Structure 1
Amino acid sequence: MKLRISHETVYRYARPIRNLVQSLRLTPSAFEGQKTHEWLIEVSGGIRGPGFRDGAGDWIEGWTVRGPAEEVTVRIAGRIDTRDTAGVLRGHRETIHPMVYLRDSDATKADDALQDLARQADGADPLDLAHKLSHLVGDRIAFRPGVTRSGTTAAEALALGEGVCQDHAHALISLARARGLPARYVSGYLHSTIDGKAHDAAHAWAEIHVGQLGWVGFDAANRCCPDERYVRLGSGTDAADAAPIRGVALGTGAEELDVRVQVEEMAQ
């Protein structure tokens, strides 16, 4: 699938900031399932700093904005070819050992309810177990925007029984780790949901390490494995660790955030 992606994030400040430093994980991953042809990252008033590939294989680059500034815009525009690898992350170079992703975070720590739910899955092998854990999350957490917040934990989302893709990913990661399977959070884009509806927003899912097959993606919110509709950016132990944009602003005013994403299929 040939996709064109535009992503704009606008930060507005009640009082001008003196300085802004950002770390951007906004470059598509390099693996067999996707090939990037054009990719432009711009930060209004920004100075591009050094970039590097971290141990998880993600490309990260730094930007600095020297104030005073009342508004900062991060823009991404690019073209990418994707193909279905049945969710398997083939050809992705990374150096971090999978066992590192058995480590819990505050967002994914399993309480008694998550532990009990994890024990309900009975898989013939690690891959089968991962699929069944993903289905359990989809059954127990209904997709409903606006009911959770960025800081909602997997335990809170399960207790509520509702949430968004971030909550589904955190819950699945929690269940997988409870069953001894390394799991991590993945940020990216989705062209359309499983029913064909356009999905003009950033997206998230989980990856679970299943032995010799390696990392396999699972989108519990859409009850599927990532296919050609998905664009992978980067990963981390949870949403905060895998955030596409992280930064620190020097100033005392309140911050407002506005995000616009468009993912469209191009003519073959």
Structure 2
Amino acid sequence: MRCEIRHTTEYRYPVPAWDSFNQVRLHPSQEARQSVRSFHLHVAPEAEITSRKDYFGAIVHHVHVHEPHTHLVIEAQAIVDTHALPLPPPTPVSALRAERRRNTEFLVASPRVPAGDWPEIFGVTRPGQTDDLPDFMMDLTTYLYRRFTYDTRATGVRTPLAEFAQHGRGVCQDFTHAMLGITRQLGIPARYVSGYLYSGGEMKGAEATHAWVEVLIPDYGWLGYDPTNNCMAQEKHVKIGHGREYSDISPVRGTYYGGGKGELDVAVHVYGEQ
């Protein structure tokens, strides 16, 4: 599937800001399930732009605007081809024993996914060692989809996981953090994925960057599950990068001097073609 993506971030300030610096993680990743045909980053006013790869391998652009400005636009445009991949064979949960030591960073607690009895809090039955891991993960995806309500007004980027567990309403970020809390307490290495979703109108979370979970399946690799939409992450999902949680792969964040209290607008458009 070919996806064309346009992601526009606009800042407006009541008085001039200067020395604005932003970290931008919007470049889709290049991997087996997707090929990046093109990527362009446009910034107005003129900016100094450099790039590097972060600890987890995502491309990060550093955008530095020196001159005074009351309006800043950062627009990323990409064309990505996504590819169907074979699904893993049946894999028992016990096969994870050999993988845990090599993937500790995706098992330990983090600020937005703290330690806790998340399987019990969310009412999830722990799998047996002979249970099929891919089947268990799809069942968990369906369970979270049915248990929680997608509501863009219910939470923000700083809403604690415990609060989402209590109220049961939130966005893809919350669904993903909940799934990470559960899987990590079960000893299943899992990571937070940021990206885009081509919905065609029938899926939730396409109005901004989307989030889902990738789980390590032994002798296969990382496999994506989207609890917000009760599906696996396949050709309609375009990955930017991954980390332990949202803060490792947040799309755009930065600082500036002056400017007063700024306003932020974000628009994401994903066009797909089979």
Which category describes the TM-score, using the shorter chain as reference length? 0.7 to 0.9
Q: Give, in angstroms, the shift of residue 53 of structure 1.
A: 2.2
**Percent identity over the alignment?**
32
Match for residue 174 of structure 1 among 174, 181, 191: 181
Amino acid at match of 1:59: I
Q: Would the alpha carbon gap of residues 193 and 237 (structure 1) be closer, same or farther in structure 2, given more than 3 Å must change?
A: farther
Indicate the residue corresponding to 1:17 in structure 2. 17
Distance 1:175 1:79, change over 3 A: same
1: CA distance between counterparts of 2:233 and 2:116?
28
- Output one character per residue of 1:204-227: Cα deviation in whole Å (capped at 9) or x when no partner: 111122322221111000011111
Task: Spell out, residue by residue over 1:95-147, the C-alpha distance to the aligned partner (whole angstroms, 9 max, x if none).
Answer: xx532111212221244455443651425043333333323322221112211
Report matched runs for 1:10-49 at 5 Å.
10-49=10-49
Residues 133 and 176, structure 1, Cα contact 8 Å, conserved in 2 = no
SS at match of 1:10: strand
2:265: which partner in 1?
A: 258
- Structure-1 separation of matches of 2:23 and 2:152: 27
Separation in structure 2 between the aligned mates of residue 86 and residue 22 of structure 1, nearest angstrom: 38
Aligned to 2:133: 126
Deviations 1:56-107 (A, max 9, x none): 221112110113111111101121111223688xxxxxxxx53211121222
- Unpaired stretches in structure 2, ≥5 consecutive residues: 89-101
Partner in structure 2 of residue 93 of structure 1: none
Contact 1:49-1:61 within 8 A present in 2 as well? yes
Q: TM-score, normalised by structure 1?
A: 0.87
- The 1-side partners of 2:242 and 2:204 are apart by 25
Query: What pairs up with 1:1-12 in 2 under 5 angstroms?
Result: 1-12=1-12
Aligned to 1:92: none
Deviation per CA, 1:182-238: give whole Å up to 9, x if none: 222111110116946893432111112232222111100001111111110011211
| Structure 1, unpaired ranges of 5+ | 89-96
Aligned to 1:156: 163
SS at the partner of 1:262? strand
Distance of 1:46 and 1:206 partners within structure 2: 36
